[in-house]
Structure 1
Amino acid sequence: MRRVAKGVFDVPCPTWAAAAIALAVATAYLAYVYPLDFFRGIGYYFSDGDASQHVSGWLFYARDSLHFPLLRTTRLNNPDGVSIALTDSIPLLALLLKPISGLLPQGFQYIGLWHAVAYLTQALGAAVLIRVLGCRTLFAACIAASVAVSWPALTNRLGHTSLMTHGLILFALSAYFAGVKDARKSGLAARCLIGLIGLALLVHPYLMAMIYAIFLAYVLDKRVGGESWRVQGLRVAASLGLVGALMYLFGYIGSAGGAGGFDYFSMNLASPFCGGLFLHCQIDATGGQQEGFNYFGAGGLLILAAGTLSFMRKRQPLGVKVKYPFLILMAMVLTLYALSTTWYLGDSKVLRYSLPSVFKIITSSFRASGRFFWVVGYLLMFVMLARLLRSKARLVPVGVFAVALPLQWFDTSAIRNNVINAVHRPEQVDRKPWPSILADARHLIMYPAFGCGHVGAEQYLYFQNLAARQGLTFNTGYIARLKRSCGVAGAGLPAEFDSDTVFVMRESELKFIRFDLPPALVTAAKRGECAVVDKILVCRRKLLKSVGEIKWERAPVNGLMLEEKAEYAAKELPTVVGRLEGGRIVSEPSRAGILSYGPYVDLAPGKYRASIEYSCSSAADGQCGTWDVVADGANRLQKVTQGVLRATDGSSVSLSADFAFERPLPALEIRSIYDGDGVMEIHKVTVERRF
């Protein structure tokens, strides 16, 4: 094919010019998508979802004195405290701003500003990576930056600000290729990778794990290339020492627990190829596979296809695999990890296998497995970009990019429009009375602690942000992976509420925690210091009778709050195989299974009696089924006691069992299991505290 005249596609440019064009591309993108107020932290976005968690973490930390570990604040999860690494509040920037937090405007937060940092570093990382791969022109820098800032997986990441810092991955790949391709830069590249590992840890641990995988591929490929094991061992030791020191200094160690979801938050096999306007299919078979959103985009797939064809025309198309064996192996391992142990193609499950239990510490710590394909996606895209940009037939890449970039823009417009709508949504005035109710308070207590109750995260986030903005401490919080214990002991409650303390609890929680009510709440209720506002039970000394236009009655001290025995009628209990009839749960003929369960009541340590009242039409010498008492202990059902449901010849009888335990018992259920013979009816179940 005829070459075009030498010009902008061929003339190398200095590094500063490549950086300038990349920053210009990112700035243009930011100006198109984001309003200026967003970077100032103004908008509805910052009061909703994960973003509000990130903001509140910083605000608690900024108002606190310095503690050890250095990211710890005792104002959140008070009095024990927590590292704001667990609120994803971008610890790196928090540490930099902490010394001058007193000089910052009241309520200042940087979460909006970090979006600009993420896109600017994304463009710079792309310009550096494409230059390291041998494409040193302005045209190459512009194309690489354009592809990077419009990357669908990055655009779709809105809502989890720290995880948008994909530029760190691009810089890590740049260091890898620079060190492998030029032996003179080997040491510098290793030091850069180790530094990026530490930097990534202070942005988000998932990014650290991804960059560490690139680092391991680097040291192994350098060993294959002739460098000694001693040098590589020192590099690994230095990296582990840095990670260990940072985790110790900043509170990553000991405070976070693992969690399930490794298969749930995986990548669908169809995800890299679907997700836009032109290529759309089912990529979420579990309900959580949006975490594994890794669509290349229609334009990106065109670039990959063109680059693959270009490689196939070479005489030794497998040369890259010989030169970078462990990088290729790393990409394969990360792909397998992203797919998890259960593979889906669209809605269909295609493969399932098990990992040895030793891997549980990894899969529970990095449970959103689908994210790990980010490294693979960027690696594939930039290798193919470089191949096209180095093509001797200049019309080929020009033609491909002329089609691919507009195609990418239109194909991903729906994802981008979702972002535009979210970041342009104006801040809403909070007309609820809580700021006035909390006036002059110093402490806000919410019960039960987050993760222990039956209320959604949004309720905790609302009060968490309210406490952060008004300078109050908060005893619990919407905090990632925090190890916590439930019940009164785990909520950090005082024996009695002080005059500067406000207690809040969703009114609907009362039916679940009637046996584990805080003594301070009971005392406050007896004094007439509690009221119900907007379905929230609130207690405070010198409780106001009205705030603004809202008035309320004091909460009555009734049997619900102080009783030692709770009865649950059949209509209050769920069923699997029965039906509600005449106020009773009645079995369906010959349909065996769980006839009744619930009521999911939380119990404080102590002695109890559980009872079930039922009848069964079979002759009295037979058996209609079984019953048991179970609780949700450590995210798995724990059997407390069990028994047999004897036939009663239609008469109503009551069976009871006593049990005791030394720790809080959450979500207690009394279950009846019908065996399919006769007609069985459940009348009620009872839970009673024993002394």
Structure 2
Amino acid sequence: MSPALPERLRRLPTVASTFVIAHLGPLGAAGVGLLAFLAVYGPAALDPTRLGWLLRDDFSQHLLGWLFFRNEPLRFPLGAMEGFIHPLGTTLGYMDAIPWVALLLLPFSAVLPVDFQYIGPWMCACLMLQGATGAWVARRLDASVPQQWMVGGLLVLSPTLLARMSMAHEALCAHWTLILLVGLHLIPQRSARDAKQALGLALAMCVFAAGVHPVITAMVVALSVSLCVRTALERQLPWRWPVLAAGVNVGTVLVLFYVFGYLGTVRTLGAGAFGGFSADLAAFINPLGYRDLLWSRFLSALPRQGAQYEGFAYLGLGVLFALWTALVLVARDAPQVARLWRRFVPVGLVSLGLFFFALSSHITLRGELVANVSALYAPVMRWVEPFRSSGRFVWPLYYLLALGSALVLIRLPRPSVAPSLLALTVVLQGFDVNLGRGRQGQEGPAWTTAPSEALREAAEGRKHLVLYPPQIHDGSGRGCRAGPREFPLWAYRAYRLGLTFNSGYVARLDDSRAQSYCLGLDDDVRAGRLDPDTVYLSIPQRIHEFRAIRGTRCVQEDRLYLCVLEKDAASPGRQATP
């Protein structure tokens, strides 16, 4: 052993304590995020072996994407799987299963429990990073440790992020990436080193977001390009650097989209109904969220259109107070603020542009149409329709207002007043934001029970589990939707038995292939052409078709019928029902 090694080991505690002290603000704010997650979901949601609570909403789609992916060999595009919605197949990206995390865990799949989920830990990490990132930005602006905690805590209590968790959209919870990029616009670039660090972080966020969710990626790319503009205006680097960085960011995302199968695997990326899932002009002061959940304890709900929950962007009383105070301070010191235009003009213009897109083609105020700009979008509808939930693009402006107003309070002319105003802001936010009853992570229906003996016996030596008729659809309703809605239960059991499964819900689907498969399956069953390697799950209304086929055996289970063609049956075909 090297003599220097014991000395290095003795220095480790000192190095660790130095790191903790130096990063006390971000670490403390991350702790606030952890406490918020425990208050909303409870500690049981952090148990990776608990799956029952993930049955609700879209959680089951994301969970099944990971479970089926881990049962298959790695193939291109990364995250592609053939066992789910078999034989059509899909990808991790279209299952909203956070491809980077699934790919990171795949090498360890053999040693991980059969029942394993990362949705709860991921959402907890997002809340912790939300706080840590806000505190880090405040730290770069010379805020004290308590001020860093308060800025981070204020962002943790963002109703927009908490509402997204309640909607079971965990991949869309990486709001900390937007906070980081907005913050990088506001942090001074005093040297070429600062400028290079900002450009490097922007590229890292583009790479990260491309393996998380396309909507997050689109906003990250827009903010990264505006950061390149800001860097060029600062002139700490030759203009070639930011121009090259902008091109690299966009090119890297396009390549990764192809690698992850977002591009080139589905014919139609459009989702239809653009303009319905928008934001309202009053979104920042409307506490009405998904499923009519009121996120304020003090403010009343404002009118909105039905699907505008996607544009939910309630700031909270604390942030609204900070924003009002910040505007007063900025107005009083306008000449000095104007000298900092390079910091806020690029990000402000991009955020306002994305906010305009969030309003979509039908701009509303309190749910009433005030402008129809459909003609503006008509020539580019092919490109904007994939982002039909345009209301989500309100988030960059949301965090510019929230983070920017908090940072203005830090830079008050009288520094002694800043802690009191920030504390009042956090207290107002904490009292106002409705965190619910803290039971979101409670166990759901017991759908993750082991497959029954009848199903195990039917599946022995077979490869496929087929729901008949299938339930295959995407977010736009494309596909075949005649089968039972409780397909996640059977998909989980197929996973436990190592079988493929023919039904499911995905973000995007090739409708022509889906229709061809469903019609072909229908023709095969009616003609008596059953696959001996398949276990069929028939609804009661269609069981007579299986009973009319020679050599089939059917048993009832969970309101459906398990039917198999005996492998030693001679030439299967139709026969008269006795």
Question: Structure 2-normalised TM-score?
Answer: 0.82
Higher helix residue share: 2
Contact 2:283–2:314 under 8 Å retained in 1: yes
How many angstroms apart in 2 are the aligned matches of 1:92 and 1:179? 32
- Cα deviation for residue 302 of structure 1 reads 0.8
Q: Check 1:313–1:449 CA distance in 2 against 1; reply closer, same or farther (3 A cut).
A: same
Once the two structures are superposed, the pairs formed by residues 18-29 of structure 1 within 5 Å of their partners are 18-29=25-36
Does 2:372 correspond to 1:352?
A: yes
Structure 2 residue 354 is matched with structure 1 residue 334: yes
Q: Does the CA contact (< 8 Å) of 1:60 and 1:76 recur in 2? A: yes
Aligned residues of 2:181 and 2:227 also touching (Cα < 8 A): no
Q: Does 1:539 align with 2:548?
A: no
Per the alignment, residue 276 of structure 2 pairs with 264
Q: Which residue of the partner structure matches residue 70 of structure 1?
A: 78
Q: Is the 8 A contact 1:448 1:487 kept in 2?
A: no
Q: Cα distance, 1:498 vs. partner? A: 3.3
Matched-pair contact (CA < 8 Å) for 1:507–1:532: no
1:400–1:82 Cα change, 3 Å? same
The 3-state SS of whatever aligns with 2:436 is helix
Alpha-carbon distance, 1:182 to partner: 4.3
3-state DSSP of counterpart to 1:351: strand
Q: Does 1:526 align with 2:549?
A: yes
Pick the aligned partner of 2:67 from 59, 65, 74. Answer: 59
State the alpha-carbon separation in 2 of the partners of residues 322 and 306 from structure 1. Answer: 22
- The question of 1:308 aligning with 2:327 is answered yes
Q: How does 1:166-245 map to 2 (within 5 A)?
A: 166-178=175-187, 180=189, 182-226=191-235, 230-245=240-255
Q: Distance in 2 between matches of 1:179 and 1:64?
A: 48
Cα 1:436–1:272, aligned 2, differ >3 Å: closer, same or farther?
Answer: farther
Shift in CA distance, 341/142, structure 1 to aligned 2, threshold 3 Å? same
Structure-to-structure mapping, 1:468-617, within 5 angstroms: 468-485=495-512, 486-489=514-517, 493=521, 496-507=529-540, 522=545, 525-527=548-550, 529-530=553-554, 535-536=559-560, 538-541=562-565
Q: Can you list the C-alpha shifts for 1:345-394, whole angstroms capped at 9, x where unaligned?
A: 22311111122434223322211111111111111111111111121324
Choose which of 251, 254, 257 in structure 1 pairs with 2:261: 251
Aligned partners of 1:271 and 1:293 also within 8 Å: yes
Structure 1 CA distance for aligned equivalents of residues 423 and 125 of structure 2: 28
User: Helix, strand or coil: the match of 2:58?
Assistant: helix
Range that drifts further, 271-280 or 150-159: 271-280
In the TM superposition, what whole-angstrom CA distance separates every residue of 1:473-514 from its partner, at most 9, and x where no partner exists? 112321111223244535785954334412234456x6xxxx
The corresponding residue for 1:281 is 301
Rounded to whole Å, the distance in 1 between the matches of 2:576 and 2:417 is 80
From 23, 27, 44, the equivalent of 1:16 is 23
Residue 315 of structure 1 deviates from its aligned partner by 3.9
Which runs of no fewer than 5 residues in structure 1 stay unpaired? 1-12, 511-516, 544-554, 559-691
Once the two structures are superposed, what CA deviation does each residue of 1:238-269 show, in whole Å capped at 9, x if it has no partner? 22332232122222212242202321111112
Q: Distance in 1 between matches of 2:220 and 2:450?
A: 47
Cα deviation for residue 222 of structure 1 reads: 2.9
Say if 1:181 and 1:501 are closer, same or farther in 2 by CA, change over 3 A.
Answer: farther
What amino acid sits opposite 1:498 in the alignment? D
User: Structure 2 CA distance, aligned partners of 1:264 and 1:240?
Assistant: 28
Q: Secondary structure at the match of 1:191?
A: helix
Q: Are the equivalent residues in 1 in contact too, given 2:277–2:307 (CA < 8 A)? A: yes
Q: Distance in 2 between matches of 1:500 and 1:396?
A: 74
Q: How far 1:98 moved relative to its partner?
A: 0.6
Q: Secondary structure at the match of 2:507?
A: coil
Distance (whole Å) between structure 2 residues aligned to residue 403 and residue 396 of structure 1: 11
Residues 283/409 of structure 1: CA separation in 2 closer, same or farther (3 Å cut): farther
**CA spacing shift, 1:180–1:437, aligned 2, 3 Å:** farther
**1:320 to partner: Cα distance:** 4.4
Partner of 1:574: none
Contact kept, 8 Å, 1:197 with 1:208, in 2: the verdict is yes
Q: Name the counterpart of 1:292.
A: 311
Deviations along 1:507-526, whole A, 9 cap, x unmatched?
56x6xxxxxx9xxx956642
CA distance in 2, matches of 1:45, 1:217: 40
**What SS does the aligned partner of 2:536 have?**
strand
CA distance in structure 2 between the aligned counterparts of 1:361 and 1:118, rounded to whole angstroms: 32
Q: Deviations over 1:156-191 (max 9, x none)?
A: 011111111111112222334447564432222112
What amino acid is aligned across from residue 289 of structure 1 in structure 2? Q
1:450 maps onto 2:472 in alignment: yes
Contact persistence 1:302–1:400 (CA under 8 A):
no
Cα distance in 2 for residues equivalent to 1:500 and 1:279: 59
Q: Is the 8 A contact 1:69 1:251 kept in 2?
A: yes
What per-residue deviation string (whole Å, max 9, x for no partner) do you get for residues 84-134 of structure 1? 1111111111111111111111221211111121112111111122223x1
Quick one: distance in 2 between partners of 1:27 and 1:432? 30
- Alpha-carbon separation, structure 2, partners of 1:138 and 1:236: 34
Q: How many residues align?
A: 519
Distance change (3 Å), C-alpha of 1:129 and 1:358: farther
The corresponding residue for 1:406 is 427
Q: Which amino acid aligns with 1:334?
A: L
Given the superposition, is the C-alpha separation of residues 322 and 231 from structure 1 closer, same or farther in structure 2, using an over 3 Å criterion? closer
Q: What letter corresponds to residue 445 of structure 1 in structure 2?
A: V
After superposition, the CA RMSD in angstroms is: 3.0
Q: Determine the structure 1 residue equivalent to 2:401.
A: 380
Q: 1:103 to 1:272 in 2, by over 3 A?
A: same
How far did residue 223 of structure 1 move? Answer: 3.2
Distance in 2 (CA, whole Å) between partners of 1:345 and 1:488 is 43
- 1:396-437 deviations in Å (ceiling 9; x for gaps): 433433433232222212xx115x2221x2243349996444
Contact kept in structure 2, 1:525 and 1:539, CA below 8 Å? no
SS in 2 for 1:108: coil
Q: Which has the larger radius of gyration?
A: 1
Alignment match, 1:429: 446
- What is aligned with 2:410? 389
Alignment of 1:618-637 (within 5 A): none
SS of the equivalent of 2:327 reads: helix
Kept in 2: contact 1:79–1:492 (CA 8 A): no
State the partner residue of 1:108: 116
Does residue 361 of the first structure (1) align with residue 388 of the second (2)?
A: no
* 1:126 is aligned to 2:138: no
Distance 1:152 1:469, change over 3 A: farther
Letter in 1 for 2:222: A
CA contact (8 A) 2:447 2:489 kept: no
Higher relative contact order (CA 8 A, sep 6+): 2
Contact 1:338–1:369, Cα closer than 8 Å, also in 2: yes
2:15 maps to none
